[in-house]
Structure 1
Amino acid sequence: MTDPITTDTDRALGFTIPQRHARGRIVRLGPVLDTILAAHAYPPAIEALLAEALTLAALIGSTLKDAGGQLTMQAQTQNGIVTLLVCDYRGGELRGYVQYDAERLAAGPEEPSLFALFGAGYLAITFDQATTGERYQGIVPLDGSSLSEAAEHYFLQSEQIPTLVRVGVGRAADGKRVAGGLLLQHLPEGEDGRERLHTRLDHPEWEHVAILGGTMAADELADPALPLETLVWRLFNEEEEVRLHGETAFARGCRCSPDYIAQVLGKFPPSEQQAMADENGVIFVDCAFCATKFPVPAASEIVT
């Protein structure tokens, strides 16, 4: 009897290379990704797009030191097939969805370009710090070949940190989606780096790290049979020291609930609630993230 194949999914692993002044994070999504995608039955091109976006959210969001902090990624379009893409990360939980024009998608090629999907669109990455209440956002145009390339531009433009991002999206043996990602960053002033605006770009050791990171293939990142530690070893086994740390487990997280929906609707006066209700006096609210329908009885108007 052969041993079952071990799968390594739904987690992230952080690492640093002290002598190269670099840090990295590698992630792989499996069942969590499949659960999020299955809620909407997306066509393959949209499925792959959201899989890439969720992988980026996992890569970047899991670097937050604030346990209650949130990362939100939003891509909007100008005359593209996709009208809105949103995904976020908070405390290991991921969620996301895509709005798109099904007719235009069906009329185009099987694998549309990023420009076909978004036109002259942009990617906004927002960090919300729960402890301090601070929020900061960076916006970059979607003028590259992938969302991953736009994420690289975000770090270079908004934070002035040389960054390499690689994402691979594939399918497991059972046909379900699997995706993996690699994030490498140059921090010349130690593992925590300096203030973002003062990070220097001219350290030669970064080129060495980036070249090694660029050899990571998409199918390796998306192969659930390859442990994340093995991928780090493949890239950097000749380095003097590589420190592993910062493991994060992922789960699908949608923050909708009947109580929350009822609380939001309760802010509307009874007359407006009645206008939203069906013939039975029930308001149906759809969650865009998990596609769950919530029936909420509308408040009755008070007759005096």
Structure 2
Amino acid sequence: MDQTTPVSSNAPTTNVVVDATDDVVLPFAIEGMSVRGRLARTGPVISDILGRHDYPPAVSRLVAETLLLASMLGTALKLEGRFTVQTSSDGPVDLLVADMTKDGGLRGYAHFDADAVAALSTETPTLEQLTGKGSMALTIDQGPGRNSYQGVVPLEGDSIAACGEDYFRRSEQLPTLIKLVVAQSFERDASGTADGGWRAGGIMIQQMPEDGGFVRDLDPGDAPDGSVAAEDAAEDENWNRAKILMETVEDHELVDPALASEQLLYRLYHEDGVRAFPPHPLSFSCRCSQDYIKGVLEGFGSEEMADMHTDDGRIEVRCEFCSSTYNFDPEEFKGS
């Protein structure tokens, strides 16, 4: 059975649009080009994740961008396991973590110096102002007994999206264009109270040589020095066209819950033809539990656990991903 769908101009009703647009990653391919992409749209899930923390807006945006990147890249996983995007740096936000399981379970958090973030002179600080110098690691963990794969790139450029593009340029040698948008929602309920939720959207395209694209190291034969083979030129023209069209996407289009993903793809690439593949649903999922945390604590020494004691003498641990708190009686670890 055909698992792809040509995107048409037929606009679904508003009720269908909201359900189909939120919390999914939609893979797509541009017909007649060696270009594939992913379109991610999320509202309730990103609000759930960020709502578990009391982050400043600038930090929330950074976490959301990292989660978007993880969701678009993580949906490409072919094996059981987990895909993680993690930054480590020397700035006010010295750690960002976002990971995704094969079934679309997302979680993420940031470690930061609140005073240093508050001292920044602008409400919209740059990536460098927030993170300083450091690196971004992209890791595929295939589970126990199987090899993990990791790629690391400098934390450079003006955005998390630029770092993602740099990874593919350095590691995979795939021309890639990524756009990530995060917006805070202030929709009001019947009582007039603003919900303060978040919306996030991202789109990426890649030129895929294995789908009939160019190969740069072919012998040019008798072609004059500096010339480009006709096939290469055609591929470059297609890629440039795909990039130019993607760059017309406006920020509000990526976060508008009333604009279906299929409608947006049709607007961008209807002249060439665009085919959508089955969407990948996203959800919030944290793997912490009382038993898991207890197992971790059993590997700690008594001196290390002493720092976790509360005023009433119990051991308290908070999950950085979901902010759940776990309490234990120190007697449970006697002799461990």
TM (norm. structure 1) is: 0.88
Q: 1:194 to 1:138 in 2, by over 3 A?
A: farther
CA distance in 1, matches of 2:130, 2:298: 37
Q: 1:134 to 1:275 in 2, by over 3 A?
A: closer
Q: 2:266 aligns with which of 214, 233, 240?
A: 233
Shift in Å, 1:129: 3.0
Shift in Å, 1:250: 0.6
Q: Secondary structure in 2 aligned to 1:158? A: helix
Q: Secondary structure in 1 aligned to 2:165? A: helix
Residue 247 (1) aligns with residue 279 (2) = yes
Look up the equivalent residue of 1:217 and give its one-letter code: E
Residue 264 (1) aligns with residue 275 (2) = no
Look up the equivalent residue of 1:149 and give its one-letter code: A
Shift in Å, 1:6: 4.3
Which structure 2 residue ranges, 5 or more long, are not aligned? 1-12, 188-195, 219-230
Which residue of 2 is the match for residue 283 of structure 1? 315
Q: How many pairs were matched up?
A: 295
Give the share of equivalent positions with the same residue, in percent.
40
Q: Secondary structure in 1 aligned to 2:32? A: helix
CA distance in 2, matches of 1:110, 1:294: 35
Q: 1:207 aligns with which of 208, 233, 240?
A: 240
Contact 1:172–1:224 (8 Å) recurs in 2: no
Look up the equivalent residue of 1:263 and give its one-letter code: G
Residue 110 (1) aligns with residue 110 (2) = no
List aligned pairs for 1:98-177, cutoff 5 A: 98-108=110-120, 109-130=122-143, 133-172=146-185, 174=187, 175-177=196-198
Which residue of 2 is the match for residue 97 of structure 1? 109
Residue 216 (1) aligns with residue 237 (2) = no
CA distance in 1, matches of 2:308, 2:184: 42
Q: 1:279 to 1:201 in 2, by over 3 A?
A: farther
CA distance in 1, matches of 2:42, 2:310: 40
Shift in Å, 1:171: 3.1
Contact 1:13–1:246 (8 Å) recurs in 2: yes
Q: 1:27 to 1:283 in 2, by over 3 A?
A: same
Contact 1:274–1:300 (8 Å) recurs in 2: no
Shift in Å, 1:188: 2.5
Q: 1:56 aligns with which of 39, 61, 69?
A: 69
Shift in Å, 1:249: 0.5
Which structure 1 residue ranges, 5 or more long, are not aligned? none
Residue 88 (1) aligns with residue 99 (2) = yes
Q: Secondary structure in 1 aligned to 2:163? A: helix
Root mean square deviation of aligned Cα = 2.7
Residue 65 (1) aligns with residue 78 (2) = yes
Shift in Å, 1:65: 2.0
Q: 1:201 to 1:42 in 2, by over 3 A?
A: farther
Contact 1:11–1:29 (8 Å) recurs in 2: yes
Which residue of 2 is the match for residue 11 of structure 1? 24
Residue 76 (1) aligns with residue 88 (2) = yes
CA distance in 1, matches of 2:210, 2:93: 40
CA distance in 1, matches of 2:258, 2:295: 45
Which residue of 2 is the match for residue 178 of structure 1? 199
Larger Rg: 2
CA distance in 1, matches of 2:73, 2:245: 20
Which residue of 2 is the match for residue 38 of structure 1? 51
CA distance in 2, matches of 1:256, 1:23: 35
Q: 1:189 to 1:279 in 2, by over 3 A?
A: closer
Look up the equivalent residue of 2:275 and give its one-letter code: R
CA distance in 1, matches of 2:28, 2:250: 19
CA distance in 1, matches of 2:59, 2:307: 34
CA distance in 2, matches of 1:152, 1:225: 29
Q: Secondary structure in 1 aligned to 2:45? A: helix
Shift in Å, 1:13: 0.7
